[in-house]
């Protein structure tokens, strides 16, 4: 063991972006797989799972069958991904495309065509991403089979349908060979996110959250659509295999310092993609949907909003890294404000990520709902990932994505288990000492592993991945401020993570049941979780099967024997069953094992052999990298971040563990930072700000337009309807029924004719 540490440290001292030879797409060669169409099973099996779920919903299946089919399909998809990875691993720096069918092939001019086929583009980055996407999806589906068990019936089928459709869309997004298929997947995951957040459609808050998520995603999607159109207009193609080589010429311009010479239409593509990535991955200013998305069931939060969908933005940046390297916002030299300013797109990404990380961490420190805290930590960690890719190091970003997926899923699933067991209780002022309760040890340990990763405790996966990003940031002489922001955020992260852990899982045992303890306020109104007083059907009774351990079986599908009696006394939390515990254990161990990816440089090898490898813009050969405390950041980063993390954990320990006698109070209550604290608790009023600046003007405009519509447009139409009637009414008096009146009219007519004849003759 003693020689392990020096090995780690010497490996770490190697700067990340030391590349020789061609990089990026130029370094890739095309290969073909042994059974190419099998790669289509990766999206195909989830689609099959979705279709099966729909059929089961139509067929009225009331068991957990949809869950098992989903788990099987996703496990199959993961197996195929493993096979694919093994195939590609031997190929080295290579890519391959596998076409299923011609989707759009539109020749609009001789020699020019718009081609977007249903084909897959597979390189090492794709394999890396799909491994954790499918793996986590399979695990979380297993978790959800128990978590959603109170909802068996059409709701269950609906859940797994959306779940499978989500995995299919994510596969299209990641594995798509062209930007249009990526866009299809992008929209698909947005749709499934909407469906799943709004799963409890009878709850107004869930419906509002679903709408908010979808609408804010749409703003980003506008950026993506415009970017794709711009890409096609300039390059004439949107397929990665053809597009990326064409961008190389501009990348050469950019890396030689001449970013302003890149044509504006190319520069703007990356900026638009940044908007899209920020919308999907919940960065400033479009992050407000993610905390609200916690209204969805916890498996959804874990899969979609922690591990997979929100990383789609990072994936977009990594995949189109050449475009980002030559992207910028250029102010024309004759503008009257900031003339001639060139802001590289990667700088926007870096700053957006850093500021978001800090903001979300401060908000997370003051929240009381543990799922919300985890949501804000996701936003914050995504900020880290964006800083990673923004520093032109796709490796840093991708590695953090990979490790974060595991430990964040673990964290969310643990919180979910707590919520499930305590009747929907998520307030950390009302829960304490959960780890010491019977049957909760696995959850507690999984949570501990997750928290250690998130806080960056030495030798965990999160520690390594965060350190790569921090080291990259500190090495870059232009991004000192960003680097310090990230370091401070790392400290805050450690604090709020362990605040949750020390409050909820350690300390004196006490709990208050949540709102769902006496029946659900969701669409189905089952109250399987309601428990009687002593001696209820939860312990060593035969109806739960041979195991009979206290609290081991959480499955209520096998018939609750009418436990709807007196609820108010002795609500017993029910500890998670085998499915939840198994998944938590797997994920926790996985997040520990993922740490091993660092010294073996597994992720680094994958990313740098893909198209996402970027030429180092700082040119570590051109000028010396910056130093931290007088030493090379890559060597010293461990100690610095470990120190910062330790400070955060110790502060949390002091404030939230020592001397805490009850769940509701701790030493932290003595600290009153006044406006800062209130601001953080109210999420810095960002939602209220958006309400005032966007929603209210839009509402006023809507009312004005409604008024105009009613008065002008409807008025015009009604007027057109009134005209014939008016005409008729005005002519009506001539039909008086009087014979002599008619006669007089005729006589007048004759007189008029006579006069006309007379005057025309004269």
Partner 1 sequence: MIDTTFGAALTLGQFTLGQFTLGQGDLPAPMSGITLYHYLFTASTMFVLGLIGFLTRRNLIVMFLSTELMFQAAGIALIAFGRFHMNQTGDAFVIFVLTVAAAEAALALALIVLLFRRKETLDGQAWASMKG
Residues that bind partner 1 (CB under 8 A): 732, 735-740, 743-744, 747
Closer to partner 1 at the Cβ: 549 or 738? 738
Q: Give the nearest distance from C-beta 710 to partner 1 in angstroms.
A: 34
Query: Residue with structure tokens 């930590």?
Result: 377
Nearer to partner 1 by C-beta: 713 or 745? 745
Shortest reach from residue 215's CB to partner 1, in Å: 58
**Whole-angstrom distance, CA of residue 306 vs CA of residue 412:** 8
Q: How far is CA 171 from CA 85, 168, 554, in A?
A: 15, 5, 32
In the complex with partner 1, the residue whose CB is nearer, 623 or 725, is 725
Least distance from partner 1 to the Cβ atom of residue 745, Å? 10
- We find the least distance from the C-beta atom of residue 218 to partner 1, in angstroms, to be 59
Beta strands in 481-556, from DSSP E residues, in sequence order: 510-511
Name which of 30 and 738 has its Cβ closer to partner 1: 738
| Shortest spacing between CB 729 and partner 1, in angstroms | 11
Minimum CB separation of residue 695 from partner 1 in Å reads 56
Minimum separation from the CB atom of position 746 to partner 1 (A): 9
End-to-end Cα distance, the chain: 128
> How many other CB atoms sit within 10 Å of the CB of residue 339?
10
Min dist CB 728 to partner 1, Å, is: 9
What's the min distance (Å) between Cβ of 739 and partner 1? 4
Helix, coil or strand: residue 631: strand
Determine the Cα–Cα distance for residues 718 and 721; give it in Å rounded to an integer: 5
Q: Measuring CA to CA, which residue among 162, 117, 112 is closest to residue 141?
A: 162
Task: State which residue, 624 or 744, has the beta carbon closest to partner 1.
Answer: 744
* Dihedral Cα 302, 304, 309, 311, nearest 10 deg: -10
Give the pair of three-digit tokens for residue 446.
């999984």
Shortest distance, position 744 Cβ to partner 1, whole Å? 6
Handedness of CA 286, 294, 203, 584 (dihedral sign): positive
Residue closer to partner 1 (CB basis): 697 or 749 = 749
Smaller CB separation from partner 1, 215 or 744: 744
- Nearer to partner 1 by C-beta: 705 or 743? 743
Distance, in Å, from the CA atom of 581 to the CA atom of 584, rounded to the nearest integer, reads: 5
If the CB atoms of residues 264 and 751 are measured against partner 1, the closer one turns out to be: 751
Q: How far apart are CA 361 and CA 650, in angstroms?
A: 17
As measured in angstroms, the least distance from the Cβ of 750 to partner 1 is 8
CB neighbour burial string for 17-39, b if at least 16 within 10 angstroms, e if fewer: beeeeebbbebbeebebeebeeb
465 contacts 399 by C-beta, under 8 angstroms: yes
Evaluate whether 282 touches 130 at the Cβ level (below 8 Å). Answer: no
Token pair of 310, please? Answer: 């929100």
> Residue 35 or residue 743: which is nearer to partner 1 going by CB?
743
In whole angstroms, what is the distance from residue 322 CA to residue 330 CA? Answer: 18
CA angle 602, 397, 27 (to 5 degrees): 60
Nearest to 207 by CA among 196, 218, 220, 221: 196
b/e per residue 710-740 (b: at least 16 CB within 10 A)? eeeeeeeeeeeeeeeeeeeeeeeeeeeeeee
**Which residue number, 689 or 742, has a Cβ lying nearer to partner 1?**
742
Cβ atoms of residues 344 and 169 within 8 Å: no
Based on CB atoms, which residue is closest to partner 1, 691 or 738?
A: 738
Report how far residue 279's alpha carbon sits from residue 190's, in angstroms, rounded to the nearest whole number: 11
Q: Which is nearer to partner 1, 233 or 750 (CB)?
A: 750
- What is the closest distance, in whole angstroms, from the C-beta atom of residue 759 to partner 1 in the complex? 18
Closer of 619 and 749 to partner 1 (Cβ): 749
As measured in angstroms, the least distance from the Cβ of 714 to partner 1 is 30
463 touches 457 (CB < 8 A): yes
Give Cα separations from 588 to 166, 436, 592 (angstroms): 24, 19, 6
CB of 732 to partner 1, least distance (A): 6
User: Which is nearer to partner 1, 337 or 739 (by Cβ)?
Assistant: 739
Q: How far is the CB of 751 from partner 1 (least distance, A)?
A: 10
Nearest to 356 by CA among 277, 281, 278, 283: 283
Asked whether the beta carbons of 660 and 666 are under 8 A apart, the reply is yes
Q: In the structure encoding, which two tokens stand for residue 683, read together?
A: 């999420």
* Tokens matching residue 171: 């596969």
CA distance 285 to 352: 9
d(CA 213, CA 671): 35
Shorter beta-carbon distance to partner 1: residue 672 or 735: 735
CB of 724 to partner 1, least distance (A): 15
Residues ≥6 apart with Cβ < 8 Å to 678: none
Distance of alpha carbon 521 from alpha carbon 523, whole angstroms: 7
Helix, coil or strand: residue 432: strand
Nearer to partner 1, 5 or 748 (CB): 748
> What's the full length of the chain, in residues?
762
Q: How far apart are CA 720 and CA 716, in angstroms?
A: 6
> DSSP string spanning 45-62?
HHHHHHHHHHHHHHHT--
Query: Are 309 and 220 spatial neighbours (Cβ–Cβ below 8 Å)?
Result: no
CB of 733 to partner 1, least distance (A): 9
Bridge partner list, 369: 427
Cβ nearer to partner 1, comparing 714 with 738: 738
């Amino acid at each position: 063991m003693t020689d392990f540490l020096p090995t780690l440290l010497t490996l770490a001292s190697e700067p990340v972006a030391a590349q020789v030879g061609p990089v990026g797409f130029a370094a890739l060669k095309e290969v073909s797989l042994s059974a190419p169409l099998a790669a289509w099973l990766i999206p195909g099996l989830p689609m099959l799972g979705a279709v099966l779920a729909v059929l089961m919903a139509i067929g009225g299946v009331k068991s957990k069958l949809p869950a098992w089919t989903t788990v099987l399909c996703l496990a199959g998809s993961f197996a195929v991904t493993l096979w694919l990875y093994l195939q590609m691993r031997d190929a080295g720096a290579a890519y391959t495309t596998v076409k299923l069918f011609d989707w759009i092939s539109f020749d609009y001019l001789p020699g020019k065509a718009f081609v977007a086929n249903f084909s897959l583009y597979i390189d090492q980055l794709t394999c890396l991403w799909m491994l954790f996407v499918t793996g986590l999806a399979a695990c979380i589906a297993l978790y959800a089979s128990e978590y959603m068990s109170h909802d068996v019936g059409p709701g269950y089928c609906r859940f797994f349908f959306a779940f499978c459709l989500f995995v299919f869309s994510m596969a299209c997004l990641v594995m798509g060979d062209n930007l249009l298929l990526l866009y299809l997947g992008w929209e698909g995951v947005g749709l499934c996110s909407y469906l799943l957040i709004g799963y409890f459609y009878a709850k107004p808050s869930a419906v509002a959250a679903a709408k908010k998520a979808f609408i804010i995603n749409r703003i980003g999607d506008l950026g993506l659509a415009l970017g794709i159109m711009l890409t096609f207009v300039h390059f004439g193609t949107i397929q990665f295999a053809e597009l990326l080589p064409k961008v190389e010429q501009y990348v050469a311009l950019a890396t030689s310092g001449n970013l302003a010479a890149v044509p504006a239409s190319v520069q703007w593509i990356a900026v638009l993609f940044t908007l899209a990535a920020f919308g999907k991955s919940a960065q400033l200013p479009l992050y407000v949907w993610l905390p609200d998305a916690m209204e969805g069931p916890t498996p959804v939060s874990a899969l979609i909003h922690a591990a997979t969908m929100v990383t789609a933005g990072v994936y977009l940046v990594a995949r189109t890294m050449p475009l980002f390297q030559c992207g910028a916002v250029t102010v024309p030299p004759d503008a009257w404000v900031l003339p001639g300013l060139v802001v590289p797109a990667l700088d926007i990404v870096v700053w957006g990520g850093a500021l978001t990380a800090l903001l979300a961490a401060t908000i997370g420190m003051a929240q009381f709902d543990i799922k919300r805290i985890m949501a804000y930590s996701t936003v914050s960690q995504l900020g880290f990932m964006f800083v990673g890719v923004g520093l032109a190091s796709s490796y840093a970003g991708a590695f953090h994505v990979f490790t974060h997926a595991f430990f964040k899923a673990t964290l969310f699933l643990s919180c979910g288990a707590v919520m499930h067991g305590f009747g929907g209780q998520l307030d950390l002022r009302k829960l304490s000492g959960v780890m010491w309760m019977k049957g909760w040890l696995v959850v507690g340990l999984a949570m501990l592993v997750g928290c250690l990763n998130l806080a960056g405790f030495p030798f965990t996966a999160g520690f390594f991945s965060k350190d790569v990003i921090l080291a990259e940031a500190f090495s870059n002489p232009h991004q000192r401020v960003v680097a310090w922001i990230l370091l401070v955020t790392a400290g805050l992260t450690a604090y709020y993570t362990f605040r949750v852990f020390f409050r909820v899982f350690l300390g004196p045992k006490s709990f208050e049941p949540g709102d769902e303890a006496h029946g659900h306020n969701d669409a189905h109104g089952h109250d399987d979780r309601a428990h009687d007083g002593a001696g209820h059907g939860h312990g060593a009774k035969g109806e739960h099967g041979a195991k009979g351990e206290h609290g081991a079986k959480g499955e209520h599908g096998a018939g609750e024997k009418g436990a709807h009696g007196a609820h108010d006394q002795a609500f017993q939390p029910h500890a998670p069953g085998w499915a939840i515990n198994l998944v938590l254990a797997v994920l926790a161990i996985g997040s520990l094992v993922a740490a091993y990816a660092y010294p073996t440089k597994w992720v680094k090898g994958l990313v740098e052999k893909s198209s996402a490898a970027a030429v180092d813009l700082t040119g570590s050969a051109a000028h010396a990298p910056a130093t931290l405390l007088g030493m090379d950041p890559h060597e010293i980063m461990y100690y610095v971040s470990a120190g910062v993390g330790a400070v955060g954990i110790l502060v949390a320990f002091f404030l939230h563990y020592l001397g805490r006698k009850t769940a509701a109070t701790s030493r932290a209550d003595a600290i009153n930072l006044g406006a800062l604290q209130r601001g953080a608790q109210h999420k810095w009023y960002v939602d209220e700000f958006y309400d005032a600046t966007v929603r209210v003007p839009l509402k006023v405009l809507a009312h004005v337009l409604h008024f105009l519509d009613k008065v002008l447009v409807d008025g015009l139409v009604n007027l057109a309807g009134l005209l014939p009637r008016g005409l008729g009414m005005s002519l009506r008096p001539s039909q008086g029924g009087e014979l002599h009146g008619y006669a007089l009219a005729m006589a007048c007519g004759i007189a008029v004719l006579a006069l006309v004849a007379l005057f025309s003759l004269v």
